[in-house]
Amino acid sequence: MIAPHDDLRTPHDDLLAPADKPLAPLPARRDPRGDIVLGAVVIALFVLGVWLVARLPAPGLSWWTVAIAATCSSACGLVGCYLVLRKMSLLGDAISHAVLPGIALAFFVSGEITGVPIFLGAMALGVLTTLLTQALRDYGNVPEDTGMGIVYTALFAAGVILVQVGARQVDLDPGCVLYGMLDMAALNTTRVFGVEVPHSIVTLGIALVTTLAFIAALWKELKIASFDAGLATAMGFRAMLIHYLLMAVVAGVTVASFEAVGSILVVAMLIVPGATAHLLTDRLGWMLAWSVVVSLLSALFGYALSRWLNVNVAGTMAVVAGTQFALAVFLAPRHGLLVKWLASVRLSLRIVGEDVVARLYRHEEAATGAAFDATQGGDGEPQSVWQRWRRSWAIASLVNSGLVRRAADGTLLLTAAGRQVGRSIVRAHRLWESYLERHFELPLDHVHEPAERIEHYLGPELQTQLAEQLAEPEQDPHGRAIPPS
Amino acid sequence: MSVLDIHDMTVAYHRRPVLWDVDLVLEEPRLVGVLGPNGAGKSTLVKAVLGLAPMAHGTVRVFGEPVERVRKRIGYVPQRESVDWDFPVSVLDVVLMGTYGRLGWCRRPGPRERQLARECLAKVGMEDFERRQIGQLSGGQQQRTFLARALAQQADLYFMDEPMAGVDAATEHAIFTLLGELRKAGKTVVVVHHDLRTVEQYFDYVVLLNMRVVAAGPTNGAFTADTLRRTYGGRLSMLEAVGDAVEARERA
């Protein structure tokens, strides 16, 4: 019925694939080497981080602090993945600030600084922020980002005022609200099942478990609502409802994290692990797993760094997370800049090599018998060091792969395999020239250069199509024979 | 019992009507082409039926029931540009999404759903691509993936929003062969379409739209030079003027 692969255009990406090679067969799995290296690096980093922390003074306290930091950043990182995927990173920022008045009000009502009322207050404000932003957009004609900027700053400011008013009676420190006090968190302990544990780890542990349960229970609903909200709604999963639930969870996690990292740096914990994870994988499950890895490494190295520099832990955690993101941008196995750069170098080597083969083929075709130096550039144009180096490299790999051999006097000659490749490239070139002449009405002296570029991308299948469309031409516009395939 | 019954539907964005008083009844299974110029409200019509666009007025019944109660029997293919193709899911994941509606809340797809998804992928010739991340596909392959997902919905009434956008001629023909098979199997497919040249070849029913239904009926009767001229010959200036007036009044 539908022929598979018919619109798959993969330029054969290995150096000089034989001309009769069919379109690249599809690998069931992609090259795992990058992932294996990445895994090894991550394990080594974990060992290094654990070793660093273990060498710090007062290891007991250190481990509790690291555990609090890790729980906090993992919970944030997991829920943050969905913010990143839904392109709502700034909504996370907004919510993390806007929950403050909810916390303050809940505190005034309940008189408790922790506990369920605080979470309910925060979650209500989280949903309210989302609602207000949407209402401003829909009914107030305020663009979404402007609305968000107004709503969250106003709510946050109201929260700061409430906290300052409240702080006259109680110990609610605005500095702690902004930056958190992870260093102190491990000292404030409570007894759970007869074990003395920091209070924060209980709160954050509940937040982490709740987040995991939320994601596990609504795994497919979150996936479809994040990917295709229209279809989700059309199927009866109200995308808006899922959106509000997610925002409530974001608000809850944010509040649980306040004591540890404060309301400003919690944004880094929400967004950076997810953004980094997205660069490292292209499966949702793995993305969540990677976000936890990034969070854990941030906690380990952030804590070690903060002890070493004697500064706020949340700050160093955010810096470590940001560093991991920067590394991922450059070194990610599939989407990293380094891999893309290497691929483009490989492609340019292939093109240079094919040009050499094509020139040798044309020389043979002309059969002048004159000596011919294919090691030089095409039109005698001056060449940079990089171009000369690239040409030598390309020729060396041509010799290596048996397409070209060196004669006794050092000149290059095509082998039988090389001749086939050369014929295919020249055929592609001349077919494309004919196509341009037919359809573009270009003057004859304009068709060579475009064909010189396109010839490297016309595989056997496209060549056949072109030849069919042009009614099997025998000559190109310059009157040269088009070699058979 | 009619397949689709839209009665006096008006759709408004920010109070301004963009689709006026649509009356449309499909009595039997059809392969329907929804045609009209840019901004005519073709996508809006589909979205309003599905409850994705605000209906200011009117009722929609599908198989004689409100849409809310028959969602499992309705399939939807949104415009390709409406989703983020960098999303970290594989082709099979996307097709599996088609089975979510029947599963309902909190139940995960199992081996049976996987089997169904693979069969649907095979029907569109994409079985070799199931492990690919969707961003690595060509435009035509992405469209086929969406089509496979719709097949996995196992619906009786499909809405497809420009499933031919960005596909090559061969894929377009293959997709319509498949839609024809659905039609023969007693399903109704409503397709928002752009290319007037292929209408008579593909559709047995057309809806010509330009802010209102200009003509609707079996292709050989409703798709004429006259109806086309009325559909594509500019907006009705009166509708524009009244729309302006409504918007101005409602705003003031």
Kindly report, residue by residue over A194-203, the tens digit of the pLDDT: 788 888 888 8
Q: Which band of pLDDT confidence, cut at 50, 70 and 90, is reported for residue A208?
A: very high
> In chain A, how many domains are there?
2
Query: What is the domain-level CATH number for residue A215?
Result: 1.10.3470.10
Residues A292 and A350 in one domain: no
Question: Which secondary-structure segment (H or E) carries A413?
Answer: strand A412-414
At residue A388, the pLDDT reads 82
What tokens were used for A379?
Answer: 């039109």
What tokens were used for A468?
Answer: 């069919």
Does residue A333 register a pLDDT over 90? no
Query: What is the domain-level CATH number for residue A402?
Result: 1.10.10.10
Give the bridge partners for B192, in sequence order. B34, B161
Taking contacts as CB-CB distances below 8 angstroms, the residues of chain B near A1 are: 123, 125, 174, 177-178
CB burial class (10 A; 0-12, 13-18, 19+) of residue B138? middle
A402: helix, strand or coil? coil
At residue A369, the pLDDT reads 60
At residue A467, the pLDDT reads 83
- Comparing alpha-carbon positions, the chain A residue that sits nearest to B143 is A7
Does residue A38 register a pLDDT over 90? no
Taking contacts as CB-CB distances below 8 angstroms, the residues of chain A near B72 are: 235-236
Residues A232 and A308 in one domain: yes
How distant is the Cα of B37 from the closest Cα of chain A, in angstroms? 23
Taking contacts as CB-CB distances below 8 angstroms, the residues of chain A near B171 are: 2, 6-7
Determine the angle formed by the axes of helices A284-309 and A239-280, rounding to 10 degrees: 70
Mean pLDDT value across residues A423-451: 83
Residues A123 and A232 in one domain: yes
Q: Is B177 on the interface with A (CB under 8 A)?
A: yes
CB atoms inside a 10 Å sphere around CB A99: 32
> Do the beta carbons of residue B90 and residue B41 sit within 8 Å?
no
Q: How far apart are CA B175 and CA B183, in angstroms?
A: 12
CB atoms inside a 10 Å sphere around CB A293: 21
pLDDT 10s digits, A101-117: 888 888 888 877 667 88
Mean pLDDT value across residues A241-258: 89
- At which of A315, A332, A349 does a domain end? A332
Provide the percentage of residues in chain B whose pLDDT is more than 70: 97
User: Which of A2, A138, A228 is the closest to B171 by Cβ?
Assistant: A2
Does residue A428 register a pLDDT over 70? yes
Q: Which band of pLDDT confidence, cut at 50, 70 and 90, is reported for residue A12?
A: very low
Mean pLDDT value across residues A140-162: 87
Does residue B93 register a pLDDT over 90? yes
Residues A212 and A303 in one domain: yes
Taking contacts as CB-CB distances below 8 angstroms, the residues of chain B near A240 are: none
Does residue A264 register a pLDDT over 80? no
Which residue has better confidence, A408 or A277?
A: A277
At residue A221, the pLDDT reads 94
Mean pLDDT value across residues A320-332: 93
Residues A406 and A429 in one domain: yes
Does residue B60 register a pLDDT over 80? yes
Does residue A170 register a pLDDT over 80? no
Q: Is residue A480 part of a domain?
A: no
Does residue A409 register a pLDDT over 80? no
B52 phi/psi in degrees, rounded to 5: -95, -10
At residue B172, the pLDDT reads 86
Residues A297 and A391 in one domain: no
Q: Is residue A151 part of a domain?
A: yes
Number of H-type helices and E-type strands within chain B: 10, 10
Residues A128 and A148 in one domain: yes
pLDDT 10s digits, B228-248: 888 887 666 677 777 777 777
Tell if the CB–CB gap between B71 and A218 is shorter than 8 Å: no
Cα angle for residues A419, A422, A427 (degrees, 5° grid): 125
Residues A127 and A268 in one domain: yes
Q: Which of A12-16, A94-98, A202-206, B168-172 has the highest mean pLDDT?
A: A202-206
> Do the beta carbons of residue B152 and residue B188 sit within 8 Å?
no
Does residue A14 register a pLDDT over 70? no
At residue B205, the pLDDT reads 93
Mean pLDDT value across residues B79-97: 93
At residue B161, the pLDDT reads 93
At residue A380, the pLDDT reads 57
Q: Is B200 on the interface with A (CB under 8 A)?
A: no
Q: Is residue A194 part of a domain?
A: yes
Give the bridge partners for B32, in sequence order. B190, B205
Show Cβ contacts of residue A381 under 8 Å, excluding neighbours closer than 6 positions.
Answer: none
Residues A319 and A394 in one domain: no
Does residue A426 register a pLDDT over 50? yes
What tokens were used for A105?
Answer: 């009000």
Best CA proximity match to A418, nearest among A352, A354, A350, A485: A354
Q: Which of A82-96, A108-122, A272-286 has the highest mean pLDDT?
A: A272-286
Q: Which band of pLDDT confidence, cut at 50, 70 and 90, is reported for residue A27?
A: very low
At residue A180, the pLDDT reads 73
Q: Is residue A8 part of a domain?
A: no
Q: Is B93 on the interface with A (CB under 8 A)?
A: yes
Give the bridge partners for B31, in sequence order. B189
Mean pLDDT value across residues B82-106: 92
Mean pLDDT value across residues A367-384: 62
Our measurement of the distance from residue A251's CA atom to the centroid of its chain's CA atoms, rounded to an integer in Å, reads 25
Q: What is the dihedral of CA B219, B221, B226, B230, to 10 degrees?
A: -60
Q: What value does the mean pLDDT of chain A take?
A: 82
Residues A421 and A281 in one domain: no
Amino acid letter, residue B120? C
**DSSP letter string over chain B?**
--SEEEEEEEEEETTEEEEEEEEEEE-S--EEEEE--TTSSHHHHHHHHHTSS-EEEEEEEETTEEGGGSGGGEEEE--GGGS-TTSS-BHHHHHHHTTHHHH-TTPPP-HHHHHHHHHHHHHTT-GGGTTSBGGGS-HHHHHHHHHHHHHHTT-SEEEEE-TTTT--HHHHHHHHHHHHHHHHTT-EEEEE---GGGHHHH-SEEEEESSSEEEEEEHHHH--HHHHHHHHS---HHHHHHHHHHHHHHH-
Amino acid letter, residue B172? E
CB atoms inside a 10 Å sphere around CB A483: 18
Integer-rounded Cα radius of gyration of chain A? 31
Count of all residues that appear for chain B in the document = 252
Tell if the CB–CB gap between A1 and B177 is shorter than 8 Å: yes
What tokens were used for A77?
Answer: 């990182």
**DSSP letter string over A207-272?**
HHHHHHHHHHHTHHHHHHHHH-HHHHHHHT--HHHHHHHHHHHHHHHHHHHHHHHHHHHHHHHHHH
- At which of A332, A359, A389 does a domain end? A332
What tokens were used for A199?
Answer: 């209070």
Q: Is residue A27 part of a domain?
A: no
- Interchain CB contacts (distance < 8 Å): A and B: 123
Best CA proximity match to B130, nearest among A278, A283, A232, A11: A283
Domain that holds residue A137: 32-332
Q: Is B165 on the interface with A (CB under 8 A)?
A: no
At residue A174, the pLDDT reads 61
Q: How far apart are CA B238 and CA A120, in angstroms?
A: 52
Tell if the CB–CB gap between B170 and A26 is shorter than 8 Å: no
User: Which of A5, A228, A236 is the closest to B78 by Cβ?
Assistant: A228
Mean pLDDT value across residues B139-145: 90
At residue A389, the pLDDT reads 84
Q: Which band of pLDDT confidence, cut at 50, 70 and 90, is reported for residue B95?
A: very high
Residues A94 and A140 in one domain: yes
Q: Which band of pLDDT confidence, cut at 50, 70 and 90, is reported for residue A178?
A: low
What tokens were used for B48?
Answer: 């309003």
Does residue A16 register a pLDDT over 70? no
Does residue A64 register a pLDDT over 50? yes
Which residue has better confidence, A8 or B99?
A: B99
Residues A209 and A238 in one domain: yes
Does residue A327 register a pLDDT over 90? yes
Q: How far apart are CA B82 and CA B143, in angstroms?
A: 12
- At which of A280, A308, A332 does a domain end? A332
Q: Output the pTM of the full model.
A: 0.83
B167: helix, strand or coil? coil
Does residue A8 register a pLDDT over 50? no
Does residue A436 register a pLDDT over 90? no
Q: Which band of pLDDT confidence, cut at 50, 70 and 90, is reported for residue B116?
A: very high
Does residue A23 register a pLDDT over 50? no
Mean pLDDT value across residues A378-392: 74
Does residue B71 register a pLDDT over 50? yes
Does residue A49 register a pLDDT over 70? yes
Q: How far apart are CA A123 and CA A208, in angstroms?
A: 15
A392 phi/psi in degrees, rounded to 5: -60, -40
At residue A322, the pLDDT reads 95
- Tell me the pairing of strands A412-414 and B157-161: unpaired
Q: How far apart are CA A462 and CA A428, in angstroms?
A: 9
Mean pLDDT value across residues A185-200: 79
Q: Which band of pLDDT confidence, cut at 50, 70 and 90, is reported for residue A21?
A: very low
At residue A200, the pLDDT reads 83
Taking contacts as CB-CB distances below 8 angstroms, the residues of chain B near A289 are: none
Q: Mark out the alpha helices in B90-236 (DSSP H runs).
A: 91-97, 100-103, 111-123, 139-152, 169-184, 199-202, 219-222, 225-232
> Do the beta carbons of residue A335 and residue A290 sit within 8 Å?
no
CB burial class (10 A; 0-12, 13-18, 19+) of residue A371? exposed
